[in-house]
Chain A
Amino acid sequence: MPLATRNALLALAITVAIIGTIVAAINHLDRQRIAELDAIQSQLATDTLSVETQFALLENAPCADLTTGTDLTSEVSSLGDRLNVAESRLGSNNPEVLRLKKQYTLLQIRDYILTQRIADTCDVEPVTALYFYSNEAGACESCDRASYALSYLRQTYPQLRVYSFDYNLELGALKTLIAVEKVEERFPAFVIEGKRSYGFTDVETFQELFPKDLFATTTATSTKTKR
């Protein structure tokens, strides 16, 4: 076989092998990402259960000891960031992403309930925002802007707790939350301090939905005391 022909065929095989290796490496990384999400999710499930147990055991203890909920919130947020990366890499219809997303949504709902219970028991009033979006094409033009504004507010005002939910996720607990909070299928939808609102225009208008004293200070406290 002439040298040029041999090299042309060999080069084709090597090129295909290199591309195959790259594809395999990316798939491997994606599987590792899923595995890491699984590990974090398991840890968080344990932590959530632990906190709830602690809460039950220390029901009569001083509220100052019940700060674990704040740590949990930061971990939930970290899981959310990682899940976003996995979703953008693997697609929102990937079965594993969907499974983890449902578990993450459950964790968020449990954390939200826990926060509410701490608020009721310890006489504190955390600032929480429920944010409902939709991934369906054309359903929510301003969700990207709303998500970014919420990220900004959450980072700037650490006392703000944001819970984001994919409205169309097939999960019983989420459907119940939507029903309880009476959230309509209009996006983006927010429940802030128990009040529902829809749509996003700009961050200044959006900030008006929050209690004014949230923006009075940026001191990182987890809750504010009820007046």
Chain B
Amino acid sequence: MTLEILAYPFLFLGLYFQVFMLLTFLSGPAKDRRLRLPGLNTPKVAIIVPCWNEESTIDGTVQSLLALDYPKDKLQIVLVNDGSTDNTKEVMDSYIGNPQITVIHKENGGKHTAINLGIEIASDAEFVGCLDADSFVAPDAMREMIPCFEDPKVAAATPAMSVFQPKNLLEKMQNAEYIIGIAARHALSAVNGIYVTPGPFSFYRRSVIEELGGFRHAHQAEDMEMALRIQRAGYEIDNAPRSRVYTKVPRSVPKLIKQRTRWTSGFLRNVMTDYRDLVGNPKYGTLGLLVLPLGFVAIVGGTFLFLVALASLIHGLVRTYSITAGIPLSYTLLPRFSIEWFYMPMTFLLLMSFVVITLSVSLVLIGRHVSNTPAKVILGIIGYTFIYAFIAPFWLMRSMYDVFTGKRRAWR
């Protein structure tokens, strides 16, 4: 019971944030965004594809860009090879001669340098977007994106990101998580609470990029840093819920932990150093008072709850072993449950967890619905609900360890 009480504040905050997002989803501004029609305006746009050793996926990425429903003379594709050591250069060179595509090879300098070079080359584009070379866009993604920029205060817009052809359970779990992200970003955009413009197909108003300066290394989280810089400058970040982009995700737990360690430590480092002034600052509204503080709570709370659960589990196992020692296993392992309501373990923790899980599932369904993402999510939801919580604490703890010890890790 004592340990259970420690979970209550985190469950309260988790529930509160979910309710906030659902309310915002139902609000007028969010509805207006959902009702927005694909743009008839076709301003000049450029899409930068930074590549580093992406020989197996770059071709598919470029093909999906070429298939975009957008005037070809208004869409420039800039492929930037950031010193790849595999066959990426040869694949990219096969597109030389395509009037829409510009191919550049440069020394390895990091993703931000590749994006900045691409932006520099696409000098006449009104809007510039990025697309990671392991991601693929839906044909109407560009037309869905453009209406976000009708409001001159909007400096950037994010897409609806999900997993490309999820096959194994880990990918399906991540897909459920990404689709929750679609719902979350869609809702938060209505209150200007977005804190990251993800690498796959986020778009920027070029004039704002020029005003604020290009992308920075930003602790391997250049997309988050740019979003925070935009927010600090007083601009808004919108969301195009039907601008679909599919991205490849880690297919093994160690790779997932590595990727998420990079994201989480990037968040911590940016928000604890250069953007500390945003946290808890009413000037930045939902972002400053809710999203960023709860980001910290999620990292600390996730780790704390995991450790508490682990301690409870170990304590329970030791106690059970001590109590049952000497009793035949045929008796000890006999399943004991009763369908009588009297014996149902209806505890506060259980019911709260049930409500939080139900709201999470509803967010997955909302995300899928608003984005028209063709995804089978049942297995992903089950995995996300019951397995993810046992994996996530490892990258949370690893991130905190890295941040507090100053350890830096390679991108891959």
Contacts and interface: CB of A to CB of B under 8 A. Distances in A.
Interface stretch (A6-14, A42-50, A51-59): A6-14
B103 interface: no
A22 B355 CA distance: 9
B15 A155 contact: no
Contacts of A184: none
A18 interface: yes
A29 B290 CA distance: 35
A48 to B, nearest CB: 21
Given A11-B16, A18-B15, A149 B348 contact: no
Contact of B352 (A8, A12, A19, A204): A19
Contact of A145 (B27, B29, B323, B355): B323
Contacts of B12: 15, 19
B16 A26 contact: no
Contacts of A29: 341, 344, 346
Interface in A130-150: 144-145, 148-149
Nearest to A156: B331
A186 interface: no
A85 B193 CA distance: 46
A177 B23 CA distance: 63
A25 to B, nearest CB: 7
Interface residues of A, number: 32
A3 B327 contact: no
B29 A148 contact: no
A25 B286 contact: no
Interface string B302-337: 000000000000000001001111111001000000
B342 to A, nearest CB: 6
Given A18-B15, A152-B327, A3 B191 contact: yes
Contacts of B139: none
A33 interface: yes
Nearest to B191: A4
A82 interface: yes
Closest 6 CB pairs of A and B: A11-B20, A4-B191, A203-B326, A11-B19, A202-B326, A15-B16
Interface of B: 12, 15-17, 19-20, 23-24, 27-29, 190-191, 193, 285-286, 289-290, 319, 322-328, 331, 341-344, 346-348, 351-352, 355
Given A4-B24, A29-B341, 19 more contacts: A3-B27, A7-B24, A7-B27, A8-B20, A11-B20, A15-B16, A22-B355, A23-B348, A25-B346, A26-B351, A82-B343, A85-B342, A85-B343, A144-B319, A148-B324, A152-B328, A155-B331, A203-B326, A204-B326
22 contacts: A2-B285, A3-B24, A3-B28, A3-B29, A3-B191, A4-B24, A8-B20, A10-B23, A11-B23, A12-B16, A18-B15, A19-B15, A19-B352, A22-B355, A25-B346, A85-B342, A144-B323, A148-B324, A149-B326, A149-B327, A152-B327, A152-B328
Interface of A: 2-4, 7-8, 10-12, 14-15, 18-19, 22-23, 25-26, 29, 32-33, 36, 82, 85, 144-145, 148-149, 152, 155-156, 202-204
